Amino acid sequence: MNLIGLAFKNIRHQWLDTLLSVILLAFGLGTVSMLVLVEKQTTEQFNKNIKDIDMVLGAKGSPLQLILANVYHVDAPTGNIKVGDARIVTENPTIERAIPLAYGDNFEQWRIVGTDQGYPDHYEMKLAQGKTFQSDYEACIGADVAKSTGLKLGAPFLSTHGLDQAENDEEHAHHHNYTVVGIYESSGTVIDKLILTPVSTVWHAHEDQEVEEAEKPSEADTTLAVEKIVIKNNPPTMRKGPLMMLRPAKERKASPNDNKEVTAYLLKKRTPMAQMILPNLIKETNMQLALPAIEINRLSESFGLGMDTIKAIAMVIIALSFVSIFISLFNALRKRKKEIAIMRTMGASRIKVFMLIQLEGILLVIIGGALAWGLSRLGLSILSQQLNNNFHYTFNIKDGSIQELYLLGAAIIAGIVACFIPAFQAYKMDISKTLSNE
Amino acid sequence: MLQTKSLKYQYPAGKPLAFPDIHFSNEDPALILGESGCGKTTLLHLLAGLRTPSQGNVLLGETSLYSLTTSERDSFRGKNIGVVFQTAHFIPSLTVLENIMMSLYLNGKVQDQNKAKAFLDRVNLFHKAFQPIRSLSVGEQQRIAIIRSILHEPKWIFADEPTSALDNKNADQVIGLFMEMTKTVNAQLIVVTHDNRWNGIIDNTVRL
């Protein structure tokens, strides 16, 4: 027997009295713990994927949507832009690199993105197997896609039109036959969740579809026509002026791909001037430039506000749990007076009984903390499941944060404070009076 | 050896209690007799160092109990004194065996389980070793309280009305147990009681 063992047995003996305190504490700590992990992991994800992408060029619409769709691949794209129109930006000397992204299809709800080698290179992707995509309908798949779909190297697969439609949705079935030529190593970036193919694949796939759809006029056709008119009415304007950085539009040679469409370009700027010059160049087009850092900041702020509210509620629950611990130990002590007096009679010092009550409080906090750990992981895995169903994003429940340890430390200190009065009462108890019922 | 000198105690709202000087020069069992309400329990608490007298001192062997600091007195009491109260109190979260071994733990002595089990066997409660305390009858609890006060081999054992709540059969058992066990560990037994069944068993008597 030792003091910790005795404290533990005492807690076990009066578990019903302390159950509420422990549950409250576990819920409070668990909620904060879960939020800490959600914040940490989303920030990590955001930062990892934003990596050196200074701007995103895409169709007008919500800039946040443009970022979410093209950097994180969680939202629907804002629309398409013409390669020719975009050249005013992508070939601008202030831009160091422009990575095209063309959407349209999916395989079992994993997005197929037409792009060039610059995209995987940007995220420093390494091939676990096979080679990089080069010709039409060759695809390199991310680690999560490979794991979920079971696609192997050399395996053929059929795409489905749209971003999220189910594969057997006949309306959107394309049945383009892709072949897996490469599988990337897991990188923790968004590429893990994508199927990459040359841009030309997407163009060809959709040209085929347009031919098909031209034969039977549909709603989509009308939409396409409207889009074309809009584009025609808003030709990209090139401002003439003293800006030496800009090449007049006339000098640009027409390219055979000018009429092709992409969803967006991820841009890395060469000079900070890009941010000042480029928005003006595309002012009167259907294109917009969005800055991931700013949009994500804006998102985090509103996201953070919600998190802070939940955190504040959790903190109130934690505070209540300490009040509850205090009350239950205080009440328990009244029942246990004789027990404490007997211990003192048998030679236990005042300090020893003080320590005993303190230890009981600390153990309660530790039990609450352990339950909180389990609850936070459970919550995170439920959240992760939901997120995975909707966006193919997951949370890592094996992850931990140093903040959780700080939280437990703070809770233990609060536990010591909450137990101080009952412990002190045990300390100053008069053995003789207690035993004589005075 | 036990000696008291002009021991007095004043309850905040009561008449002052003055106790006759007591002097037990040898280690034979001793009996302090007195009617209810004459301050027997108060005297026992004073003798065991549980309550500080308003005046006077208690000498146990060479030790002057009230010249010690509170913590020294706690430690001295733990090592050298065993107390059996009228009503036995235990730590309800512990088993019977753990309860009696508490005195060993609290005094930093070797927690010899075999010795504790042998003591339990002596009071025919070996089979209850791992049972919770609440599973014992009052008589059994009293026997457990006795061996708990003796297990750590103190020099003095104070018993406050240990038999007054028991029937004759149980009282005889308890008296026999006290006499035998205190002899085993060489402790002096001091019983404070108004129970006449102790008369004739212990000669060394003080009447309050």
Within 8 A by CB and 6+ apart from A334, the residues are none
Helix, strand and coil percent figures for chain B, each rounded to 5: 40, 25, 40
Does A1 contact B at CB distance below 8 Å?
Answer: yes
What tokens does A209 get? 């579809």
pLDDT average, residue stretch A268-280: 88
What tokens does B126 get? 């070996």
pLDDT average, residue stretch A15-24: 89
pLDDT in tens, A275-314: 888 888 888 888 999 998 888 888 888 878 888 898 899 9
What tokens does A238 get? 């090139």
pLDDT exceeds 50 at position A229: no
Check residue A171 and give its pLDDT.
Answer: 53
Check residue A297 and give its pLDDT.
Answer: 85
Measured between alpha carbons, how far is A7 from A1 in angstroms, rounded to an integer?
10
Pair B140, B169: CB distance under 8 Å: no
Nearest CA to CA, how far is A16 from chain B (Å)?
13
Check residue B207 and give its pLDDT.
Answer: 87
- Determine, for residues B48 and A345 on separate chains, whether the beta-carbon distance falls below 8 Å: yes
Check residue A213 and give its pLDDT.
Answer: 55
pLDDT exceeds 80 at position A237: no
What tokens does A265 get? 């370009």
Nearest CA to CA, how far is B83 from chain A (Å)?
7
pLDDT exceeds 70 at position A251: no
pLDDT exceeds 90 at position A120: yes
pLDDT average, residue stretch A3-27: 91
- Determine, for residues B91 and A343 on separate chains, whether the beta-carbon distance falls below 8 Å: yes
Nearest CA to CA, how far is A21 from chain B (Å)?
20
Check residue B13 and give its pLDDT.
Answer: 82
Q: Other CB atoms closer than 10 Å to residue A64's CB: what's the count? A: 17
Query: Which residues does chain B have with pLDDT short of 50?
Result: none
Does A343 contact B at CB distance below 8 Å?
Answer: yes
- Determine, for residues B77 and A345 on separate chains, whether the beta-carbon distance falls below 8 Å: yes
Measured between alpha carbons, how far is A400 from A36 in angstroms, rounded to an integer?
9
Question: Residue A220: pLDDT band by 50, 70, 90 thresholds?
Answer: very low
Q: Other CB atoms closer than 10 Å to residue A313's CB: what's the count? A: 13
Check residue A228 and give its pLDDT.
Answer: 39
Share of chain A above pLDDT 90, in %: 44
Lowest model confidence (mean pLDDT) among A93-107, A230-244, A370-384: A230-244
Nearest CA to CA, how far is A321 from chain B (Å)?
24
pLDDT average, residue stretch A110-121: 92
| Residues facing residue A140 across a β-bridge | A182, A196
Check residue A242 and give its pLDDT.
Answer: 39
Q: Which helix (H) or strand (E) holds A114?
A: strand A110-115
What tokens does A285 get? 């087009």
pLDDT average, residue stretch A105-115: 89
Check residue A277 and give its pLDDT.
Answer: 86
Q: Each residue of A108-133: b (16+ CB within 10 Å) or e? A: bbbbbbbbbeebbebbebeeebbebb
Check residue A173 and give its pLDDT.
Answer: 58
Distances (CA, A) of A296 to A42, A71, A365, A368: 11, 11, 37, 35
> Could you identify the residue written with the tokens 């057997």?
A168
| Residues facing residue A288 across a β-bridge | A58
What tokens does A350 get? 């005042």
- CB nearest to A9's CB, from B45, B50, B93: B93
Within 8 A by CB and 6+ apart from A150, the residues are none
Pair A126, A185: CB distance under 8 Å: yes
> Could you identify the residue written with the tokens 């060489």?
B186
Nearest CA to CA, how far is A12 from chain B (Å)?
8
Measured between alpha carbons, how far is A138 from B144 in angstroms, rounded to an integer?
84
pLDDT exceeds 50 at position A226: no
pLDDT exceeds 60 at position A164: no
Q: Each residue of A338-355: b (16+ CB within 10 Å) or e? A: bbbbbbbbbbbbbebbbb
pLDDT in tens, A53-88: 899 999 998 999 998 888 888 888 888 899 988 888
pLDDT in tens, A123-155: 999 999 999 999 989 999 999 999 989 999 999
Q: Which helix (H) or strand (E) holds B18?
A: strand B17-18
Does A12 contact B at CB distance below 8 Å?
Answer: yes
- Among A342, A350, A351, A438, most B C-beta atoms within 10 A, so best to mutate, is A342
pLDDT exceeds 70 at position A208: no
Interface contacts (A, B; CB < 8 Å):
75
Cα end-to-end distance, chain A, whole Å? 31
pLDDT exceeds 80 at position A163: no
Cβ-based contacts of A13 with chain B (< 8 Å): 92-93
Written as one letter, the residue type at B106 is: L
Question: Residue A376: pLDDT band by 50, 70, 90 thresholds?
Answer: very high
pLDDT exceeds 70 at position A339: yes
pLDDT in tens, A378-434: 999 999 888 887 777 788 888 888 889 999 999 999 999 989 999 999 999 999 999
Question: Residue A377: pLDDT band by 50, 70, 90 thresholds?
Answer: very high
Cβ-based contacts of B75 with chain A (< 8 Å): 347, 349
